[in-house]
Structure 1
Amino acid sequence: MPLDLHRLDPFDDDAVDAWWEAYAAAERADRGAGATVWTRDETRSELQQESAVVDRRAYLIRDAGEVLGSASLALPLKDNTGIAHLGLSVPPAHRRRGVGTRALALLEHEARSAGRTTTQASTSWPHDLGPDGTGSPGREFARRHGYALALGDVMSRLDLPVDESALRGHEAAAAASGRAYEMRSWVGGVPDEVIEQWAILDASLETEAPTGEKEIEAQTPDVDSIRESDDLIARQRRLSFGTIALAPDGTAAAYSQLVVSTDGNAYQWGTLVRTADRGHRLGLAVKIANLRMLQSTAPEVRSAYTHNAESNSHMLAVNALLGFRPVERLGELQKHLD
């Protein structure tokens, strides 16, 4: 039997376990034993969710029935419908045998069959390897197969808790600069009274933030998509902290979301300040508000992680001010299908 992609049933626990084990093994081999990976149950919950936003497909890479790795496709259904997001994981024991190359060809065929013309993926490497990732397994594999580095990101880690006196000082500076704005914060899903404004900023994140050479279209604000995300966070037993800054006319000027995973870490999700409202330290203000809620609600969390485009010097400076330090790099990759 030749190598094949077997699309798994997300309600088949053994198949999902095999998928996750290949994914986690590959990530830890390339990034170290302490690599941040989705937990098994978080993965299971995502694959099982019925989504109107994205068509998620997970595959086992098999040869003669033996599982050699795992793969995935995420096909946007509402915006950017010409793009397919690919994932490919081959643990070290099955490398150097052409498994990844053959699996990638099959995965790209699946993307073409779904009407996609551009594939995007990502790979991580140690920070000290530099912004190009030369020498890292994932980056070199991608390079050989025609995937260009469209955007380089920096992953930074913050040790928690942040010193209270430092937080107070940063908070006072941000408040003085942004006193015209109303701050609202919450734990859990986005409140009904601000969800439309939240959706507007969330939809603009992909194009307002640096995109490098990534080909990506502006998204349409969609409250239903936000509610779907809230639902998945709850299913995964994650905990979300959100803050929005409202301008005097009631429109959203800035927002930020921080999510605690069941792996015990917190992860910075979207943070954005609307172009017209920049220069008032709103990015710092919304981040501080979320950190305060995190430290009071989940004091057991000891690390927070964030990714930022290497070109986003302003947000990197805000993170450094709060105590984040770079630990890894991530390359956002892109290829046009023939």
Structure 2
Amino acid sequence: MPLEMTRIDPFDDTAVDAWWDAYAAAERADRGPDAALWTREESRNQLQQDSKVVERRAFLLSSGSHVVGSASLALPLKDNTHVAHLAVCIRPEHRRRGFGSAALAFLEGEARNSGRATAQSTASWPHELGPEGAGAPGREFARRHGYALALGDLQSRLPLPVDPVLLDGIQADLADAIVGYEIRSWVGPVPDDVVEGWAILDSSVNTEAPSGDLDIEPVTPDVSSIRESEELIERQHRTSFGTIALASDGSAAAYTQLVVSSADGNAYQWGTLVRGADRGHRLGTAVKLANLRMLQHEAPQARAVYTYNAESNAHMLAVNTLLGFRPSERMGEFQKRLS
């Protein structure tokens, strides 16, 4: 039977459920039953958001009476508007019948019609398969269709709670290095008096952190985009934990953010960055330590923290190791020129 691709209405609960079920089945088949996934309701709320930052399209893949998979297309609207982010998820029992290839060709056509020159996607695989992921289904699918591995990422996991004695020791060790900086932490939206500095640091993550061969451009700092992200976090019943380091002149020198899912009980590391002029003062460790302390105090039910870092980012990986993170999975960021 031929493949039928249907763009779903994000307010059609039945369609979204089928879309999410296919996504979850595909991810768990490749990554294991305990893979950390976006939950059904978190995904639903993201699809329903009227975003000014990214246009999202979700598709249900069917053959005859069977749902064989799901797909999505994300088109940045403010920055990197030459890029399209693609995802194809085929249920394991329906693979090797050409459905994934047909869906990918359709998404690439949609991207070209939207004026996008570069397609990007991700795939994850077990840590033991190594940085190249040879033999991993997503990795091999990308390779067959002309996608190059542009950046390799390491997923690390930190079981909670962390022993306070360990945290106290790290705090004492870095105290002298951070003299002259103010460390501020909060739960919820970024305070108005520091949000502009936060936006500057957050906009720099993609290009100041290791980005490999990814075809990405600097992002313009935008407070409204930060607020839109916070609105979605609230709708998803997630909680944001933020910490910033302020230099003596009040400017933002470093930041970090953790987001806790009320559905799966895990915390997820979002951005962490130290401004170039302030590196060498162990501010990355300082802000992550303060944020972790706050997380354990305010959300003691959190089970673990998950983070992704480029495998080439030796400094941040060393910070994570110091805090007790251990490698748990790998992810590849893939890229293909469409024109």
Give 2:321's aligned amino acid: A
Give 1:312's aligned amino acid: N
Q: Does 1:288 align with 2:276?
A: no
User: SS where residue 193 of structure 1 aligns?
Assistant: coil
User: SS where residue 81 of structure 2 aligns?
Assistant: coil
What residue in structure 2 maps to residue 236 of structure 1?
236
What residue in structure 1 maps to residue 306 of structure 2?
305
1:58-100 CA-to-partner distances (Å, cap 9, x unmatched) read: 1111223532100001100000000000111001011011110
- How many Å separate the matches in 2 of 1:287 and 1:177? 15
What residue in structure 2 maps to residue 185 of structure 1?
185
- How many Å separate the matches in 1 of 2:65 and 2:52? 32
What residue in structure 2 maps to residue 174 of structure 1?
174
1:130-159 CA-to-partner distances (Å, cap 9, x unmatched) read: 110001000000000001000000000001
Give 2:266's aligned amino acid: N
What residue in structure 2 maps to residue 3 of structure 1?
3
- How many Å separate the matches in 1 of 2:181 and 2:7? 49
Give 2:299's aligned amino acid: A
- How many Å separate the matches in 2 of 1:53 and 1:5? 25
What residue in structure 2 maps to residue 63 of structure 1?
63
- How many Å separate the matches in 1 of 2:197 and 2:272? 14
What residue in structure 2 maps to residue 274 of structure 1?
275
**Shift in Å, 1:172:** 1.9
Spell out the pairing of 1:1-338 with structure 2 (5 A cutoff): 2-261=2-261, 262-338=263-339
- How many Å separate the matches in 1 of 2:174 and 2:41? 38
User: When the two structures are superposed, what TM-score results if normalisation uses the length of structure 1?
Assistant: 0.99
Moved more, 53-62 or 173-182: 173-182
User: SS where residue 142 of structure 2 aligns?
Assistant: helix
**Shift in Å, 1:43:** 0.3
**Shift in Å, 1:173:** 2.0
Moved more, 209-218 or 62-71: 62-71
- How many Å separate the matches in 1 of 2:176 and 2:163? 20
Gaps of 5+ in 2: none
**Shift in Å, 1:249:** 1.4
- How many Å separate the matches in 2 of 1:65 and 1:50? 31
Give 1:137's aligned amino acid: P
Moved more, 8-17 or 258-267: 258-267
Aligned length: 338
- How many Å separate the matches in 1 of 2:33 and 2:54? 30
1:197-246 CA-to-partner distances (Å, cap 9, x unmatched) read: 00000011100000000010000000000000000000000011000001
Task: Give the percent of matched residue pairs that are identical in Structure 1 and Structure 2.
Answer: 69
Gaps of 5+ in 1: none
CA RMSD between the two structures:
0.9
Give 2:258's aligned amino acid: L
Structure 1 stretches of 4+ moved >3 Å = none
User: SS where residue 86 of structure 1 aligns?
Assistant: strand
User: SS where residue 112 of structure 1 aligns?
Assistant: helix
